[in-house]
Amino acid sequence: MTEEQAPQPWQDPALPVPERVRLLLAAMTTEEKVAQLGSRWVGNDMQESSDEAPSTDPEETLNVAPMQDVFAASGTVPLSEASRYGLGHLTRVYGSVPLTVEQGAAEVVRQQRVVVGNSRLGIPALVHEECLTGFTAFGATVYPAAIAWGATFEPELVERMAASIGRDMAALGIHQGLSPVLDVVRDYRWGRVEETIGEDPYLVALLGAGYVRGLQSAGVIATLKHFAGYSASRGARNHGPVSMGRRELLDVILPTFETAVREAGVGSVMNSYSDVDGVPAGADPWLLTEVLRDQWGFTGTVVSDYWAVPFLATMHRVAADTADAGAQALAAGIDVELPDTLGFGPNLIGQVPEELIDRAAGRLLTQKIELGLLDAGWTPEGSVENAGQVDLDSPANRALAREMAEKSIILLDPGSALPLDPELRTVAVVGPCAADPRTFMGCYAFPNHVLPRYPEAGLGIQVPTAVDALRQELAATVVHEPGCSVTGDDRSGFAAAVAAARDADVCVAMVGDLAGLFGHGTSGEGCDADELRLPGLQGELLQELLNTGTPVVVVVVSGRPYALGDVAGRAAGLVQAFMPGEEGGSAIAGVLTGRVQPGAKLPVQIPKTPGGQPGTYLQPVLGAENSGVSNLDPTPLFPFGHGRSYTTFEVDDLRISDTEVPTDGEFGVTVRVRNTGERAGDEVVQLYLRDVLAQVTRPVKQLTGFARVPLEPGEAKDVRFRVHTDRTAFTGRDLRRIVEPGDLEILVGSSAADLPCRGTVTLTGEIRETGRNRVLLTPVEVEKA
């Protein structure tokens, strides 16, 4: 509704939102309602577009457009035609091509003016953008990837980061962010491990909920991805089928999403591309309606993953054509089709009951009203009036990115060389990740996601390399030789790298990933691995460096864990940095020199050998223990939750409030954690439970609570967990979620393999089915001992 038109009743903010939605739907034609279910991606340069997007070399488009049949059908309708009856969403106005803030804001105004001016009722569109490692836009801060958030074990820090991202986005007229990813890692070979928070549902749930709260505190709708099962595909193949029973789906995959819905009030959910046991998520009413809405009480919008609606026809082949795909998706519970309208167009009219169209349109219009887009006097210009004040890579953003990076870098093993001796004379810094800042960033960071198609634009931000950072922190002479690239078979740099290492007091070898899209990287969407060896020649380079006799500190900068069994025991120190973002170089240097006290923990395990998948810790006895029934040993090199420090900690004095608890009760678990070293540091105290006997196989242990605890030297604190018996619930043989009587082992310590505090609680009474309001969280308190 433009400012020139007379106000309508549904524009009155004094009326309740449901009443405004009812009035608006009553005023709309069926064509106008259907138009709200679609979207338009004007700036998409993944293929030729008839809108204003620039053309690119076809060879360059292959790295982001492997499904050309569907992509070719997108982008053929001008925005003016696409919005003739209105439009639901505008797709990635800022995130598609390199635009300054001023250019992006002007484009938002231009596109909104087309949408508002072309339709009878003048309803604006929601603007959505990606924000997996920060706002995916030119010149915006690149924070650590989500797998690094998991390493912090600090939900409050993730919430602060998301709030900062949200404030920048909201000031630029953006209403919805496509993050966080709440997929639980099931196979490390999957390319999108970097986008996940880790392999434990509770860790993913708490940090994901923190991200949702942060983003939505700024007035930007968060979007949970990818609902559900996407990360568990056969062979870790992107979009691959998921061979998973409903029990595993209910107990491992869905709790992360349920927590974000019920505890954080998320506003949007995006469907998974994959099928689970033959049923694509985008056409599954059990998942999108019965579970999400009827059981959990979700009231927001379900948006399709990009092109997921036509994929029902072209890839899953469960729909006869795109029109049939649209009808199936709408009936299942998808409300808005992204990024362009293919299945949700006018062909829906007459193909589906009107109430389904009203249902979806009403959900989206509710969000538009709640965001103020349908208030009288709203204008496209007003939505970006503060854009000129936004510094997308402000000092405050960079400070937060630095804190995130420093708290996410994991000291696997200090060995004999860490922290680096300040008296060193010469340090050789070797490896392809030492001086390429792109290796610090995830696949959805703008420099890796878009800028490879615009090499003249540079990175858009300042990203100090690890070599530069070490030169600033060390008095020693720092010599750099890359040795090899992340990928490829060029060994020509080996000799110089080995010579530099041989002549140095210490060698720092930085190896790992370079993120990209659809095979144009070693990590990221469509960049799956068939095994967990370091990519390219990097493993061979490490062996030659280790053979020099010079102490070699190995730093892995990656989006997934790689097998380090051939390195451990020979390296003089081991560090894992999961794509630490634009401040990663400084953070890595700080950990190596000891300026930064490492306190992060592994959100995924580090395997010994490159095969033998899957290797996640959440396994029953026959999947987690070397029981002698197989010659393959699943024991990891470093377990879930592991991380060392330059001080030492002791966790002891276990106190359990009750040794017998009814199946509808709760109990308290308290331990004391003490810093027994000479430096201040953080310890992550971790509570695990083990169900001794159950009607179905249960994990050997499962994380049930945690707290990151800062401690001064000699200081001790009590950590108290309050565990409701709902936290022990699982899905039984009849697919009901139950709490069973019996013994529970209580395990508390510093990792899944370092659990010095052990006790038992017996649950008494009858088997109890948990209700829809089951307790999802384990409250924790920390105070002076």
Dump pLDDT digits (tens) for 358-410: 999 999 999 999 999 999 999 999 999 999 999 999 999 999 999 999 999 99
Beta carbons of 510 and 485 less than 8 angstroms apart = no
Dist CA 1 CA 382 (whole Å) = 13
State residue 55's pLDDT score: 33
Report residue 614's pLDDT band, with 50, 70 and 90 as the boundaries. low
Cα separation values, 261 from 164, 170, 203, 695, Å: 21, 22, 16, 29
State residue 625's pLDDT score: 76
How far apart, in Å, do the first and last CA atoms of the chain sit? 61
Which H or E element spans position 177?
strand 176-178
Helices 254-262, 201-217: crossing angle, 10 deg rounding: 30
User: Looking at this protein, which amino acid is placed at residue 168?
Assistant: D
Dist CA 524 CA 302 (whole Å) = 24
Beta carbons of 757 and 748 less than 8 angstroms apart = yes
Residue 39 bridge partners (DSSP) = 89
Residue 574 bridge partners (DSSP) = 413, 554
Tell whether the model's pLDDT for residue 630 goes beyond 50.
yes
Q: What values do phi and psi take at 305, rounded to 5?
A: -65, 160
Report residue 624's pLDDT band, with 50, 70 and 90 as the boundaries. confident
Q: Please tell me what DSSP assigns to residue 192.
A: G
State residue 631's pLDDT score: 84
**pTM (whole model) above 0.85:** yes
Instruction: Determine whether 771 is exposed, middle or buried from the number of CB atoms within 10 Å of its CB (0-12, 13-18, 19+).
Output: exposed
Token pair for 21: 């939605």
Residue 749 bridge partners (DSSP) = 686
Tell whether the model's pLDDT for residue 59 goes beyond 90.
no
SS3 492: coil
Contacts of 765 (CB under 8 A, 6+ apart): 662, 663, 664, 741
Instruction: Determine whether 446 is exposed, middle or buried from the number of CB atoms within 10 Å of its CB (0-12, 13-18, 19+).
Output: buried
Instruction: Determine whether 632 is exposed, middle or buried from the number of CB atoms within 10 Å of its CB (0-12, 13-18, 19+).
Output: exposed
Instruction: Determine whether 489 is exposed, middle or buried from the number of CB atoms within 10 Å of its CB (0-12, 13-18, 19+).
Output: exposed
Cα 560 to the center of its chain, rounded Å: 13
SS3 383: helix
State residue 274's pLDDT score: 95
Residues of the chain with pLDDT > 90, as a percent, come to 90
State residue 118's pLDDT score: 87
> What sign results for the dihedral spanned by CA atoms 711, 712, 713, 714?
negative
Dist CA 572 CA 328 (whole Å) = 57
Dist CA 587 CA 58 (whole Å) = 39
What are the tens digits of pLDDT across the range 504-556? 999 999 999 999 999 999 999 999 999 999 999 999 999 999 999 999 999 99
State residue 612's pLDDT score: 67
Report residue 615's pLDDT band, with 50, 70 and 90 as the boundaries. confident
Residues of the chain with pLDDT > 70, as a percent, come to 95
User: Looking at this protein, which amino acid is placed at residue 75?
Assistant: G
Beta carbons of 450 and 96 less than 8 angstroms apart = yes
Q: Please tell me what DSSP assigns to residue 130.
A: E
Residue 722 bridge partners (DSSP) = 668
Dist CA 124 CA 83 (whole Å) = 10
Beta carbons of 101 and 387 less than 8 angstroms apart = yes
What are the tens digits of pLDDT across the range 134-169? 999 999 999 999 999 999 999 999 999 999 999 999
What are the tens digits of pLDDT across the range 427-470? 999 999 999 999 999 999 999 999 999 999 999 999 999 999 99
Report residue 6's pLDDT band, with 50, 70 and 90 as the boundaries. confident
Over the range 11-37, which residues count as b (16 or more CB within 10 Å of their CB) and which as e? Answer: beeeeeeeebbbbbbeebebbbbbbbb
Residues present in the chain in total: 785
Report residue 74's pLDDT band, with 50, 70 and 90 as the boundaries. low
Report residue 632's pLDDT band, with 50, 70 and 90 as the boundaries. confident
